[in-house]
């Protein structure tokens, strides 16, 4: 999971439900960026402008705030979410995708490739809610 302190509860009888997955297109782009930049991280802010889309940085290239949440890994890359956005979307599954477009702000590593990461959401079922993978909070 993510690299900060967290509590883990493992239910050996149920499969843990991931909070984030990625499309094949997103995984292919992550692999290209990893080959060029090394370890990466994602951050999804809750504000306007650059916060409307997930941003991809070299690992350590963005400093999370107190309370921010790592919801899981995509291709061994931590996916962090703003604490307020997580509170709003904690009942939703994220799917990381990529489109051919110039992203807002241009700070994310995929921008020079004329690509933009984006998130699609769906609400967890009540059964899924009972078996969600744990998250990591910045303390």
Per-residue confidence (pLDDT) for residue 1, from 0 to 100: 58
Ranges of beta strands (E only) in 35-102 are: 40-44, 55-58, 69-74, 77-81, 92-100
For residue 134, is it left (φ>0), alpha (ψ between -120 and 50) or beta? beta
How many whole angstroms separate alpha carbon 108 and alpha carbon 52? 12
Check residue 17 and give its pLDDT: 96
Residue 11 placed within a domain: no
Per-residue pLDDT of the chain (139 residues; tens, 9 = 90+): 565 544 444 444 568 999 999 999 999 999 999 999 999 999 998 766 555 689 999 999 988 889 999 999 999 999 999 999 999 999 999 999 999 988 666 789 999 999 999 999 999 999 999 999 999 998 8
Is residue 13 in some structural domain?
no
Domain of residue 39, residue span: 20-134
**What CATH number is associated with residue 115?**
2.60.300
Domain count, the chain: 1
Residue 3 lies in a domain: no
pTM score:
0.86
């Amino acid at each position: 999971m993510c690299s900060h302190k967290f509590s883990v509860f493992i239910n050996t009888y149920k499969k843990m439900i991931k909070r984030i997955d990625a499309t094949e297109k997103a995984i292919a782009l992550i692999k290209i960026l990893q080959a060029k930049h090394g370890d990466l991280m994602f951050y999804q802010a809750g504000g306007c402008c650059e916060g409307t889309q997930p941003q991809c940085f070299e690992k350590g290239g963005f400093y999370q705030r107190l309370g921010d949440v790592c919801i899981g890994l995509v291709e061994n890359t931590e996916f962090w979410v703003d604490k307020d956005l997580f509170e709003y979307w904690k009942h939703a599954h994220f799917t990381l995708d990529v489109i051919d477009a110039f992203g807002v702000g241009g700070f994310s590593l995929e921008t020079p490739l004329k690509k933009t990461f984006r998130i699609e959401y769906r609400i967890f079922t009540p059964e899924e809610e009972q078996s969600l993978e744990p998250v990591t909070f910045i303390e």
